[in-house]
Amino acid sequence: MFRIRKYFVLFGIFCLQTIYSQNSVETQLAWADKLFASNQYFDAITEYKRVLFFDNRNELKAKIYFKIAKCYKAGAHLDEAINFFASVGKNATNDSTIFSAKLEIIRCNILRKTTERALQLCNELEKDGRFASNKNEINYWRGWTYMFADDWESASKIFGESPADKELKLLCNQVIDAKVSVTFATVISYILPGSGQIYSGKILSGLMSLAWNLAAGYFTVNAFIANRAFDGIVIGELVWLRFYRGNIENAKNFAVEKNFEVSNKALKFLQNEYRGLKP
């Protein structure tokens, strides 16, 4: 009889410890969630890891890994975030959570501009039969990948496949229209010095380049006409050729700079004014 009572007492103590331990885990999780909600991300990471250590049932792993990954992402520690989002996929019990974690990995790759990896993950998701109904969502982030890679033409095509992404397609088309051709700017500068700069929006620089080339050309030709061959060679080699080459290089650089400004303006709009989902 005594032995039976002893077992009952031990069983009761074990039950009380289990209940207390689980209540403690729930309290710890609530505190970690509070830190997360108040943007104290690195403190939240510490508390979430404590919950993982004390949760004997391992029922909260996927959820906590997801929160830890979000904390790292918010702190711009994208490599760590990707590692924890990958852990979510390994511990999740449903396809919805797995899909969300994979999308988050894509979004991290967009932010760190690992374009090839982001596109590869989009393709893998699209080929996975479990997520066949999520094609528009996958395409949405594929389009963002192209925008961050400065491939606005490809992004426009992707966003054009969904009416819901009309605003982003319009933005891509505006960027495409505002950009200039670096090749064209360079070629026309060979033909008419200064024209490449003017085409790229640098009108004053283009006019000055044209004027310097005309002046250098005039003095070079005039020197040869006056039988001052040495002066003509010196002026042509040291002055005219220098201005001519500089005009071509400037045209190319101004075109690249112009396109960079156009892309940056669009990305700033997306960051500060666009109200849809962002990476």
Domain map of the chain by residue range?
Answer: 182-270
What is the pLDDT at residue 84? Answer: 93
Question: The pTM is what?
Answer: 0.80
Task: Give the 3-state DSSP-derived string for the chain, with helices as H, strands as E and coil as C.
Answer: CHHHHHHHHHHHHHHHHHHHHHHHHHHHHHHHHHHHHCCCHHHHHHHHHHHHHHCCCCCCHHHHHHHHHHHHHHCCCHHHHHHHHHHHHHHCCCHHHHHHHHHHHHHHHHHCCCHHHHHHHHHHHHHCHHHHHHHHHHHHHHHHHHHHCCCHHHHHHHHCCCHHHHHHHHHHHHHHHHCCCHHHHHHHHHHCCCHHHHHCCCHHHHHHHHHHHHHHHHHHHHHHHCCCHHHHHHHHHHHHHHHHHHHHHHHHHHHHHHHHHHHHHHHHHHHHCCCCCCC
What is the pLDDT at residue 50? Answer: 85
What is the pLDDT at residue 193? Answer: 83
What is the pLDDT at residue 57? Answer: 64
Which residues does the chain have with pLDDT short of 70?
A: 1-23, 56-59, 212-244
What is the pLDDT at residue 143? Answer: 96
